[in-house]
Amino acid sequence: MRCSLPRFVLGIAVGLGALGCLRPSEERARRDEQVGSAEADGVRVEVAGGHAAVRELERDRVLLWAGAPRLSLTFAWDAPPPGEVSVEVLNCMPRAEVVPTPSVPVLESGRDASGRCSFRLGPLAGTALELGIAPPDTAAPSPFRFAVMSDVQEAIVDVQDIYSVMNREPDIDFLLGAGDLTEQGTHEQLQRFERELRSLSIPYYTTLGNHELGQSPSLFQDYFGRGSESFEYRGVRFTLLDSASATLDPIVLDWLDEWLAAGADQAHVVAMHIPPLDPIGVRNGAFANRNEAAKLLRRLAAAGVDLTLYGHIHSYYHFENAGMPAHVSGGGGAIPEKFDDIGRHFLVVDADPATQRLDVSVVRVD
């Protein structure tokens, strides 16, 4: 094998670089590409945008974990198709409805208190079926509210305090998360997080944090889907980025270009776990490389991103990065930053797509 200059440099630096690598999140980015696609028993399911993790798939049944409020999925069966198909969606939006194309009778539709939607459709007319699953009237722009919460970690034991306050907040459509749901990202911890979430009346769409990287490979995507994704809701674009390794992988940056272009004429909210720059620079709870951070921020600002949301730092900070409003909110209960007089909290954002206003307020829990 010929030794290219990068490999030569790599060889020189091998001892120094043994502790780290240049693309620690590359594997997760490649796994992101697989989220939402599954094949089994002569059926193939594809969730557009990877907006849901396929938890279980049988010929006549699929179980999804929704990672976005509006889902579009397609089925393709080997002939002959089953008579009926059952679609169950965990972390489902309240009032979600299913719209099949081509038209198929909806035999059953409902959402239980834990946020699980169940739909049964049949008889199927062909070997392909496309389903839209979303609350009605959420494709067109209209004002709404969403919440933001991150960094629960070991405070999962008390997370119900936060959920009960959040449940009392009026008119919140969903909760957006910037990672660190668990301490180590183990199966048990991810399952516990999911169980606790059942008492929250709204779905939780989140990326992962560095605390989900305690297992290798990370299990997050198996449970909650993509680390990096982008979706539109009521005329506002939301982009979640996997910065759990204090960097964005170049693969994600390629996707980001498309998402920024898609959101150019909309209000655009970008959330990630580790902020590009820490407002307290000497701490550097931020990207490992400040030049990479500046390059990303410049790219977001040039594309007209309206709001940036971060976690990782267990406090609340409001500042500007590259001229964009930035909020660090790590108020889920994980080891709190002392002397900040904040405590557990979450954010509520009032979004008005018509004016592209995104007003952020802090709701204290303690």
Helix H or strand E encompassing 260 = helix 250-262
Strands in 281-323 per DSSP E:
307-310, 316-321
Query: d(Cα 198, Cα 59) in Å, to the nearest integer?
Result: 27
Q: Given the complex with other proteins, which of 226 and 312 has the nearer CB atom? A: 312
Query: d(Cα 328, Cα 279) in Å, to the nearest integer?
Result: 9
Q: Given the complex with other proteins, which of 232 and 278 has the nearer CB atom? A: 278
In sequence order, the 6+-apart residues with CB closer than 8 A to the CB of 76 are: 43, 44, 46, 127, 128
- In the sheet where 316-321 sits, what is the strand order? 229-233, 236-241, 267-272, 307-310, 324-329, 316-321
Min CB(9)–other proteins separation in Å: 5
Q: Given the complex with other proteins, which of 298 and 318 has the nearer CB atom? A: 298
Min CB(299)–other proteins separation in Å: 8
Min CB(330)–other proteins separation in Å: 9
Q: Given the complex with other proteins, which of 60 and 183 has the nearer CB atom? A: 183
The four Cα atoms 349, 352, 356, 362 give a dihedral, to 10 degrees, of: -20
For residues 115 and 136, the answer to whether their CB atoms sit within 8 Å is no
Min CB(250)–other proteins separation in Å: 6
Q: Given the complex with other proteins, which of 20 and 83 has the nearer CB atom? A: 20
Q: Given the complex with other proteins, which of 103 and 339 has the nearer CB atom? A: 339
Instruction: Please list the residues that pair with 361 across neighbouring strands.
Output: 348
Q: Given the complex with other proteins, which of 123 and 281 has the nearer CB atom? A: 281
The four Cα atoms 9, 14, 18, 22 give a dihedral, to 10 degrees, of: 10
Q: Given the complex with other proteins, which of 111 and 290 has the nearer CB atom? A: 290
Query: What spatial distance separates the first Cα and last Cα of the chain, rounded to whole Å?
Result: 61
Min CB(174)–other proteins separation in Å: 28
Site residues, other proteins (CB under 8 A): 5-6, 8-10, 12-13, 16-17, 19-24, 184, 210-211, 213-214, 216, 244-247, 250, 253, 274, 277-292, 294-295, 297-298, 301-302, 312-315, 320-323, 335-340
Min CB(212)–other proteins separation in Å: 9
Min CB(320)–other proteins separation in Å: 7
**9 phi and psi angles, rounded to 5 deg:** -60, -40
* Residue of 207, 116, 197 whose CA lies nearest to 163: 197
Min CB(5)–other proteins separation in Å: 6
Exposed / middle / buried, residue 254 (Cβ in 10 Å: 0-12, 13-18, 19+): exposed
